[in-house]
Amino acid sequence: MGPDRFEALVVREENGAFVRRIETRRIDDLPEGDLLIKVRYAALNYKDALSAAGHKGVTRRYPHTPGIEAGGVIVASRGDAFKVGEEVIVAGFDLGMNVSGAFAEYIRVPAGWALRPPATMTLREGVICGVAGFTAALSLYKLESAGLEPGGGCVLVTGATGGVGSLAISILARAGYEVAAVTGKADRGDYLRQLGAARILGRAEADDASGRALLQPQWAGVIDSVGGNILATALKSTQYGGSVAACGLVQSADLHTTVYPFILRAVTLFGIDSVHCPEDLRRLLWTRLADAWRPATLEAIAVECRLDALDEKIDLMLEGRLTGRTIVVLD
Ligand SMILES: NC(=O)c1ccc[n+]([C@@H]2O[C@H](COP(=O)([O-])OP(=O)(O)OC[C@H]3O[C@@H](n4cnc5c(N)ncnc54)[C@H](OP(=O)(O)O)[C@@H]3O)[C@@H](O)[C@H]2O)c1
């Protein structure tokens, strides 16, 4: 490919359906920005799968190239913040949502969207950890702000084999917590134990249908990436004074609960938004991710693929059938 052209996954709306193809694009057609970045790694997140499927709550206009996080090398830089040749990670803001995203050989973004990878991680490790690791770290930070501490009881992680779930288990185990994992994949027990889960629950066990307002208290804390009745069940099963971090909706965006967990067990429910996290807290959490909370199992979590395999991976993600973090290698 010549220096002015590159390959990208492009989602187009055709006759009411959304189709995905690898297309050749022109660098001149990328949006304005301070940094032109040659992408080396991109990670597949659930939000990308929604964008790639035509979800207008994520992406308003098509044709579009999804991909909310990239790790790459700067090939052109306007301003003093970064030099050509530096490695950077870009995640969040509007990348891949309404700005041409990371499932492409090049992106162009404002300098304020780029971060240098933490000193203790390679660019690839930084992308494996990425948005999923940051979201898990933000969740743990919130739970600890409500008094959670190692030795205080078991922490439940839902959507356990997913990106956020896998990183949450790994970070919690590294920080010294006992972890229970909820999964729909009966054959992934070894994977979850390798990440640090001490106990594994089938999805049905964590999806209460009894209609009771409160269940046996089991969890000192919960990191939930699925929402719906699994989140409602987790709230009913949280022990006195415990807390729950809600960050996702893969089961459902609905939450039907009563106030009993809150008024009889003093349970706290935190909402987690990694996108608009204040800058000071973002830096603090990346410092922890690079050190005290550094996931020990990044390699076990990563599953690499090439750009032309993404179409199938996106469908599998929407069906809940992927394990770990899918890393697109663009070298
Ligand atoms: N708030 C934020 O800032 C933030 C940041 C990142 C992600 N998120 C959200 O977090 C969620 C997970 O994202 P991800 O990238 O980790 O996705 P992912 O890799 O696809 O993981 C989701 C996991 O949830 C489980 N699952 C799938 N369908 C399910 C269902 N119908 N009922 C119950 N569990 C189901 C599966 O794990 P098992 O088979 O092991 O159960 C699946 O692997 C998404 O909703 C995403 O939008 C939010």
Residue owning the nearest CA to atom 31 of ligand 1: 251
79 lies in some domain: yes
Token couple for 38: 């040659």
Whether residues 101 and 191 fall in one domain: no
Token couple for 279: 């800058």
Distances in whole angstroms, Cα of residue 62 to Cα of each of 16, 66, 126, 307:
12, 10, 29, 19
Whether residues 214 and 189 fall in one domain: yes
Q: Are 240 and 265 in contact (CB under 8 A)?
A: yes
Residue owning the nearest CA to atom 18 of ligand 1: 162
Question: Could you please report the per-residue DSSP string of 101-154?
Answer: -SSBSEEEE-GGGEEPPPTTS-HHHHHHHHHHHHHHHHHHHHHHHTT--TTS-E
For residue 128, which phi and psi values (nearest 5 degrees)?
Answer: -60, -45
Domain with 234 in it: what CATH number? 3.40.50.720
Domain with 55 in it: what CATH number? 3.90.180.10
Residue owning the nearest CA to atom 21 of ligand 1: 162
276 lies in some domain: no
For residue 295, which phi and psi values (nearest 5 degrees)?
Answer: -60, 130
**CA-CA distance, 209 to 190, in Å (whole number)?**
28
Whether residues 152 and 91 fall in one domain: no
Q: What is the pLDDT of residue 23?
A: 97
283 lies in some domain: no
Token couple for 323: 């394990």
Whether residues 138 and 250 fall in one domain: yes
**CA-CA distance, 139 to 155, in Å (whole number)?**
12
Whether residues 47 and 174 fall in one domain: no
Range of the domain at 145: 131-271
Ligand 1 centroid–CA 107 distance in Å is 26
Q: Are 106 and 36 in contact (CB under 8 A)?
A: yes
The model's pLDDT over 178-211, given as tens digits with 9 standing for 90+, comes to 999 999 999 999 999 999 999 999 999 999 999 9
Q: Are 265 and 243 in contact (CB under 8 A)?
A: no
Mutate which of 226, 303, 321 for ligand 1? The one with the most ligand atoms within 8 Å of its CB, which is: 226
Residue owning the nearest CA to atom 46 of ligand 1: 248
Domain end residue (candidates: 232, 254, 271):
271
285 lies in some domain: no
Whether residues 171 and 251 fall in one domain: yes
**CA-CA distance, 293 to 291, in Å (whole number)?**
6
**CA-CA distance, 312 to 328, in Å (whole number)?**
13
The β-bridge partners of 91 are 69
| Burial (Cβ within 10 Å: 0-12, 13-18, ≥19) of residue 85 | exposed
Q: What is the pLDDT of residue 229?
A: 98
Token couple for 245: 């971090």
Residue owning the nearest CA to atom 25 of ligand 1: 159
Whether residues 170 and 106 fall in one domain: no
Pocket of ligand 1 (CB under 6 A): 45-47, 131-132, 135, 159-165, 183-185, 203, 225-226, 230, 247-251, 272-275, 317, 320, 322
Task: Note the residue count of the chain.
Answer: 331
**CA-CA distance, 152 to 143, in Å (whole number)?**
12
Ligand 1 centroid–CA 226 distance in Å is 5
Q: What is the pLDDT of residue 263?
A: 98
Domain end residue (candidates: 228, 252, 271):
271
| Burial (Cβ within 10 Å: 0-12, 13-18, ≥19) of residue 16 | exposed
The model's pLDDT over 74-131, given as tens digits with 9 standing for 90+, comes to 999 999 999 999 999 999 889 999 999 999 999 999 999 999 999 899 999 999 999 9
CA torsion sign for 249, 255, 257, 261 is positive
Mutate which of 47, 201, 250 for ligand 1? The one with the most ligand atoms within 8 Å of its CB, which is: 250
Please list the rounded mean pLDDT of every run of 10 residues in the chain (331 residues). Answer: 85 95 96 97 98 96 97 96 97 94 98 92 96 98 98 98 98 98 98 98 97 97 98 98 98 97 98 93 94 94 97 97 98 80
176 lies in some domain: yes
Q: Tell me how many degrees the CA angle 102-45-114 measures, rounded to the nearest 5.
A: 45
Number of domains present in the structure of the chain: 2
What single-letter DSSP state applies at residue 27? G
Whether residues 47 and 156 fall in one domain: no
Whether residues 242 and 303 fall in one domain: no
Whether residues 320 and 235 fall in one domain: no
pTM of the model: 0.97
289 lies in some domain: no
Name residues whose C-beta falls within 8 Å of residue 36's C-beta, 6 or more positions apart in sequence. Answer: 27, 30, 74, 75, 76, 77, 106, 107, 108
Q: What is the pLDDT of residue 92?
A: 85
Ligand 1 centroid–CA 1 distance in Å is 35
Name residues whose C-beta falls within 8 Å of residue 60's C-beta, 6 or more positions apart in sequence. Answer: 98
Q: What is the pLDDT of residue 3?
A: 67
231 closest CA partner among 257, 212, 213: 257
Token couple for 327: 């890393």
220 closest CA partner among 146, 128, 162: 146
Whether residues 96 and 152 fall in one domain: no
Q: What is the pLDDT of residue 259?
A: 98
Whether residues 138 and 262 fall in one domain: yes
89 lies in some domain: yes
Please give the single-letter amino acid code of residue 66: P
